[in-house]
């Protein structure tokens, strides 16, 4: 009976695909292809959720802002929700979870404080709506942090991260150079735009930092000369794309990552050669970045110092519990006219600094929870010593976390998916390192060896 039902469903699906293909329009062909792939996607979601749909989610993160989906969010948001449920179902199916990291407990406390802040918020409706992104990202992080994974799955995810960065950088360079007015001007910055949606140049560059950091490590550790040259080409491409974006914060963060690599890795000579090539590649681009560095002091970092002065006054007036989540613009407007503006930035401004942002919204209590969560991500990787086969990955994730923190001093990114991708990968690496050894998991009647560190 079940077999007959299965074949009936397949036959109905094939009939629908045939009807759609007969129409001949691109939309119908795309829909037919999607329906044809749906059974395979459903199967992969059940048996390999870390590879699909989560790997697809990772691949699309750099293009998140462009993937609007029916006015209720983006395609990546939908994939993130599906991935979270699929991973939790996988944990139930194999009857096993990873011991949760301390960072997860701090994140839970932070979310609780955010929720409580709605009761004293200056704008309760804005605070209630502002909570939703945090809970969505935190739930996916929780699912990833407690789901067992294998080393080869972790490597696949890292490979997808690199591919997403290379594709994003190549597309960005194409967008920049196909517009002669932009490509020939030192005053323009790379802005990826499709229709009415666009990616902020700083966010575009910041999203490339993790793929770039990963590709550098891959290029340094591989023994194959061909792969080293391929990695070098990818590094040059991503560094060039960051330069075209004109993002000062991304360049500073990249410098911090490289210095950390010089300190913690054994590939110093290779790294110095790669730095020289990267600098030449960046300076060869017609970028506004160097002019923006020259103007940083005179413009107050494009008005950031003026914003921070207003935010500091707002924090001092309510330093303990803050003004409520998502209420920084309201608090900013309240004190805006009372602070001298050396560089006028206007009303209702974002904080452009993660510490000031959450200090104003959540007070000193929320700020300490936030910093504790960030530090716990970093400190959890200390279990991986220099002789551990995963040590290079530890250096990679620690460098990425440091670079992310540097960029967070100049832009609001705690609700961006590329930031939470780094948090999740750090939690997953920690779970690999603390696994008690080879695990035997029953999957479809076969015995599979998971968490094998010898594969590293």
Kindly write down the DSSP assignment for every residue of 134-176, as one continuous string: HHHHHHHHHHHHHS---HHHHHHHHHHHHHHHHHHHHHHHHHH
Taking the C-alpha atoms of residue 190 and residue 243, their distance in angstroms, rounded to an integer, is 9
Quick check: 395 pLDDT over 90? yes
pLDDT of residue 168: 95
Tell me the CA end-to-end span of the chain in Å, nearest whole number: 46
pLDDT of residue 439: 41
Taking the C-alpha atoms of residue 304 and residue 352, their distance in angstroms, rounded to an integer, is 7
Is the pTM of the predicted complex or chain greater than 0.85? yes
- Which segment, 102-106, 173-177, 236-240, is predicted with the most confidence on average? 102-106
Low-confidence winner among 94-108, 172-186, 229-243, 423-437 (lowest mean pLDDT): 172-186
pLDDT digits (tens, 9 = 90+) for 64-92: 988 886 666 788 998 999 999 999 999 99
pLDDT digits (tens, 9 = 90+) for 5-57: 444 544 454 444 444 444 445 554 544 455 555 665 676 777 889 988 999 99
The residues facing 320 across adjacent strands are: none
Among 348, 345, 271, smallest CA distance to 305 is for 345
Could you tell me which residues come within 8 angstroms of residue 356 by beta carbon, excluding any fewer than 6 positions away?
308, 311, 312, 315
Region 222-239: mean pLDDT is 92
Look at the block and give the residue holding tokens 């413009």.
299
Quick check: 454 pLDDT over 50? no
- Peptide bond between residue 53 and the one before it cis (omega within 30 degrees of 0): yes
- Which segment, 37-46, 201-210, 242-251, 445-454, is predicted with the most confidence on average? 201-210
Asked if residue 369 lies in contact with residue 109, where contact means CB atoms within 8 angstroms, the answer is yes
pLDDT of residue 80: 94
Quick check: 204 pLDDT over 60? yes
pLDDT of residue 451: 37
Region 181-210: mean pLDDT is 78
Asked if residue 94 lies in contact with residue 107, where contact means CB atoms within 8 angstroms, the answer is no
Quick check: 289 pLDDT over 70? no
Task: Give percent of the chain with pLDDT exceeding 70.
Answer: 78
Task: Give percent of the chain with pLDDT exceeding 90.
Answer: 58
* Burial class for 440, CB neighbours closer than 10 Å (0-12, 13-18, 19+): exposed
Taking the C-alpha atoms of residue 232 and residue 234, their distance in angstroms, rounded to an integer, is 5
| Between 208 and 446, the higher pLDDT residue | 208
| Between 192 and 14, the higher pLDDT residue | 192
* Burial class for 158, CB neighbours closer than 10 Å (0-12, 13-18, 19+): buried
| Between 25 and 200, the higher pLDDT residue | 200
Taking the C-alpha atoms of residue 372 and residue 136, their distance in angstroms, rounded to an integer, is 20
Taking the C-alpha atoms of residue 184 and residue 378, their distance in angstroms, rounded to an integer, is 42
| Between 119 and 276, the higher pLDDT residue | 119
Quick check: 272 pLDDT over 60? yes
pLDDT of residue 337: 84
pLDDT of residue 192: 83
């Amino acid at each position: 009976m079940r077999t007959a039902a299965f074949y009936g469903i397949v036959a109905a699906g094939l009939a629908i695909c045939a009807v759609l293909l007969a129409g001949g329009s691109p939309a119908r062909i795309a829909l037919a292809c999607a329906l044809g792939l749906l059974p395979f996607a459903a199967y992969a979601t059940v048996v390999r959720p870390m590879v699909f749909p989560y790997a697809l989610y990772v691949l699309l993160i750099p293009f998140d802002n462009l993937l609007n989906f029916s006015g209720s969010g983006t395609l990546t948001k939908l994939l993130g929700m599906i991935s979270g449920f699929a991973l939790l179902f996988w944990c139930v199916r194999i009857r096993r979870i990873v011991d949760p990291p301390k960072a997860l407990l701090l994140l839970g406390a932070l979310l609780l404080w955010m929720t409580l802040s709605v009761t004293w918020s200056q704008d309760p409706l804005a605070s209630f709506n502002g909570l939703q992104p945090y809970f969505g990202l935190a739930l996916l992080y929780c699912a990833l942090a407690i789901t067992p994974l294998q080393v080869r799955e972790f490597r696949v995810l890292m490979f997808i991260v690199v591919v997403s960065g290379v594709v994003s950088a190549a597309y960005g360079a194409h967008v920049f150079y196909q517009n002669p007015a932009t490509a020939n001007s030192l005053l323009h910055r790379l802005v990826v735009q499709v229709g009415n949606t666009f990616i902020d140049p700083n966010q575009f560059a910041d999203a490339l930092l993790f793929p770039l950091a990963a590709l550098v490590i891959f290029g340094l550790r591989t023994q194959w000369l061909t792969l080293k040259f391929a990695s070098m080409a990818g590094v040059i491409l991503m560094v060039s794309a960051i330069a075209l974006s004109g993002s000062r914060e991304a360049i500073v963060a990249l410098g911090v990552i490289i210095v950390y690599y010089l300190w913690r890795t054994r590939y110093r000579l290779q790294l110095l050669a790669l730095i020289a090539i990267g600098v030449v590649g960046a300076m060869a681009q017609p970028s506004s970045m160097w002019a923006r560095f020259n103007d940083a002091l005179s413009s107050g970092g494009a008005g950031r110092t003026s914003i921070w002065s207003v935010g500091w006054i707002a924090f001092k007036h309510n330093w303990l519990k803050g003004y409520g989540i998502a209420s920084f613009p309201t608090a900013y407007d309240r004190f805006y006219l009372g602070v001298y503006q050396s560089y006028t930035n206007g009303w209702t401004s974002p904080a452009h600094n993660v510490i000031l942002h959450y200090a104003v919204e959540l007070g000193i209590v929320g700020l300490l929870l936030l910093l504790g969560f960030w530090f716990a991500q970093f400190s959890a990787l200390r279990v991986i010593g220099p002789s551990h086969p995963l040590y290079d990955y530890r250096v990679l994730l620690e460098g990425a976390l440091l670079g992310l923190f540097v960029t967070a001093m100049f832009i609001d990114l705690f609700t961006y998916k590329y930031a939470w991708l780094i948090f999740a990968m750090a939690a997953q690496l920690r779970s690999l390192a603390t696994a008690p050894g080879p695990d035997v998991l029953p999957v479809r009647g076969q015995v599979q060896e998971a968490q094998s560190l010898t594969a590293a």
